[in-house]
Each structure stands twice: as structure tokens, then as C-alpha cells.
Structure 1
Amino acid sequence: MLNEHDPFSAYKQTTLDARAAAANPHEMVRMLLDGLLEEIERTRGFMERKSFEDKGKSVNKCLNIVHGLDSMLDLENGGEVATSLNRLYDYCSRQLVSASVENNPDSLDPIIQVISNVRAGWANLN
């Protein structure tokens, strides 16, 4: 089994770090949305396996990504779009906490739907 200290993981992290360093803000948001969707799937697996410590770490990563996305919003100049995204990110944060407390993988589905829709909309901006 691969762990955080194997060469493949180190390569993957280095590649991700390089992509993030070269990314413009649009690409950075897309990377965060993709990373969030991937981490939510990991969270689901931890919930299903009742791996509570790993689930907690994974939910924390998800929350950090959501808060990062939210912090990138310009609520003063972003108009209705920024306000709507702020509300969606708040909903996702609350839903993540609720899903974690209940250890209910099905409670992740609405978050995946919301973030997938945001991701699709973001992709169309390109």
C-alpha cells in the first residue's frame, strides 16, 4: 500500500506544487474544485470503512479547501455571483460537518452535486 512517504506520492505532490505555482487564479480555482471533489471521495471511503481518524483528517482537508475557495471571493466587487458562491461554500461547509458527525456517506452527495455544478460553470468561463 502506498503511503505519504513513497516516491510516487512525492512525485505527485511535486507535480501538484509546480502546477499550483504556475497557475493563474482561474486555474487555481479549478485545481481547488478538482481537489475538493477528490478529497470528498476519500472522505466517503473512510466513512464506509469506519476509519474515523482518517475521516476526520479528510473532512478537515475538505473544509480547508472550501474555506480557501471562499476566501478567494471578492464579495465587494463580485456582485451576485460572489454572493451566491459564498452561500454555496457555506452550505458545503455545514453539510460536511453534518455528514462527518453522522458518519453518513450519502450526506456527501449534495456537496458533490453543488461542487460539480460550480466546477462545470467554472470550466465554461475558459
Structure 2
Amino acid sequence: MGFGYGAGAYQQVRSHGGVESADPHGLITLLMDGALERLVKARAHMLRGEVAAKGEAISRCIEIIGGLRGSLEPKADPVLVGRLDSLYDYMSRRLLQANLRDDASLIDEVSNLLQPIRDSWVQIGPAAQAAAGVQARP
């Protein structure tokens, strides 16, 4: 399972002030990395029986996914946006179930859904910048 992949990058950028200097594409990446980081933490808390910490991590992840839903631009591609909106809604519901049922497999499911979206999002960043004629930042 690769859900630890983005968490380190999120933590590094967050601790070095990346939020203030990130472009909109970078901010969405940070949100996804933050959600993935919370999923790793929630799973660990769940396995250790730390109910309050698990609930807090899951709640924060649901909030981040809500932020991702809120950032969708319906005019860009209504079909794709509709599918992403439904998927984000599904992820939030699965996380609620994971919390109620104390089911780590549901956290894994959400991680396995979010990670490829994050990876694809990261890949389209440079391509979109190149198409727009924008120089990538070092």
C-alpha cells in the first residue's frame, strides 16, 4: 500500500511555509497529501485502540475531502467534476462508516481511491503549466 507516499511531502512543504507560496494546483496537492496523512494516522490510532485520536484524524480527513469537493469547478468538465464530487462524497461516507465500525479496511479503501487521484493530479500540473506557457518553479 502506498498511502505513506504523499504524507511526507505534505509535511515537508507544510513545515517550510509551502502553503503561502503554493499555486492553486499546489494547494490541491497539499490538501490531498494532508488527507492521506490523516488516513495513515487514523489507521494507526484505530489499530492501537485510541478512539478519540482516531475520530479526530478521520474527522479532519472528512473536512479536507469536503474542501476538495468545494474546490471543484463544474464549468471545467461537468462530467468529470460530477464523478469526482460523487467519489469524494463516497469517500466521506466510507470514513464515517470506518469510524463507527472501527474498520481499518474502509480507511484502506479510501486511501486506495485517493492516492491515484493525487498521483494523477500531480502529473497534470507540469503538463498544464507547459500548455499555458508557465515556467515551473524550482
The TM-score normalised by the length of structure 2 is 0.77
Structure 2 gap segments, 5+ residues each: 1-10, 126-138
Amino acid at match of 2:88: Y
Aligned residues: 115
Structure 2 distance, partners of 1:87, 1:113, is 16
Q: Confirm or deny that 1:101 pairs with 2:100.
A: yes
Superposed CA RMSD: 1.9
Q: Structure 1 residues 90-99 or 14-23, which shifts more?
A: 14-23
Q: Confirm or deny that 1:119 pairs with 2:118.
A: yes
Amino acid at match of 2:108: D
Structure 1 distance, partners of 2:64, 2:16, is 15
SS of the residue 1:125 aligns to: helix
Q: Confirm or deny that 1:56 pairs with 2:61.
A: no
Residue of structure 2 in register with 1:23 after alignment: 22
Structure 1 outlier segments of 4+, above 3 Å: 12-17
Amino acid at match of 1:31: L
1:44-98 deviation digits (Å, cap 9, x = unpaired):
0111011111111111110110001110011244322211110110010000000
Structure 2 distance, partners of 1:37, 1:113, is 10
Structure 1 gap segments, 5+ residues each: 1-11
Q: Is the 8 A contact 2:35 2:65 kept in 1?
A: yes
The TM-score normalised by the length of structure 1 is 0.83
Alignment of 1:77-88 (within 5 A): 77-88=76-87
1:9-64 deviation digits (Å, cap 9, x = unpaired):
xxx79944721111111001111111111110000011101111111111111011
Evaluate the alpha carbon distance shift between residue 83 and residue 60 of structure 1 in structure 2; reply closer, same or farther with a 3 A threshold: same
Residue of structure 2 in register with 1:71 after alignment: 70
Q: Is the 8 A contact 2:38 2:60 kept in 1?
A: yes
Structure 1 distance, partners of 2:90, 2:32, is 15
